Amino acid sequence: MRENLELSNASSGQQLQSDANARKELQNTLEAVAAREAAAKRALDEAAREKAAQNLRIRDLEANLQQVVHATSPKKRGRASSLSGIHLASLERELAETREAAARSEAVAAKAEKSASQARMDAVRIENDAVAMERRLRAEVQEARERAAEQTEELEFLRSQQGAGAAREEELMQRIEMEEAKVASMEKLLASSRDMSRLEDELAKTQ
């Protein structure tokens, strides 16, 4: 009987360690996802600012270009014609370069948005896994408490029989201690799961 208790206790310990490792992995993964999304949002914001500035510059260049083109029309050519031609070429070159830069900023923004979207999907998957783990742990805590309550009730009954089952009393006491230790360990895991829930809340606020 003692060997069975030891095997059961060892099995419970292994499961708890496995749960702790899984929860830690979820925590680390969620933190990495949060960092990835934050970086993507920063890149997206920066690209949006650059694109807005480039679009504004493009409008200014286009307006200036129209003015120079108008000034260098055949009817208005004069001594400044050659200078206007140089200015026109310079404006056209800058306009082309600014449009290319705007296109690059748009590509960067699209890539950052894709990365942020993927991070959000990853976060949802991790949150679902965490919720499933928390539900399972809560169910196991409840089951362990119920077993401990039943064993405590049986132990009290045996004690009322004035030592009629000393061996069974010892076994029950060991089982109760084992269930209580299991409950304490699982509640510790649940507490750390609440810490992860706070991180999930913080991540959700950034979306």
pLDDT-based confidence at 120, cuts 50/70/90? confident
pLDDT of residue 147: 83
Three-class DSSP labels, the chain: CHHHHHHHHHHHHHHHHHHHHHHHHHHHHHHHHHHHHHHHHHHHHHHHHHHHHHHHHHHHHHHHHHHHHHHCCHHHCCCCHHHHHHHHHHHHHHHHHHHHHHHHHHHHHHHHHHHHHHHHHHHHHHHHHHHHHHHHHHHHHHHHHHHHHHHHHHHHHHHHCCCCCHHHHHHHHHHHHHHHHHHHHHHHHHHHHHHHHHHHHHHHHCC
pTM: 0.61
| Model pLDDT for residues 152-195, shown as the tens digit of each residue | 887 787 777 765 567 777 777 888 888 888 888 778 777 776 66
pLDDT of residue 56: 95
pLDDT-based confidence at 207, cuts 50/70/90? low
pLDDT-based confidence at 204, cuts 50/70/90? low
pLDDT of residue 161: 72
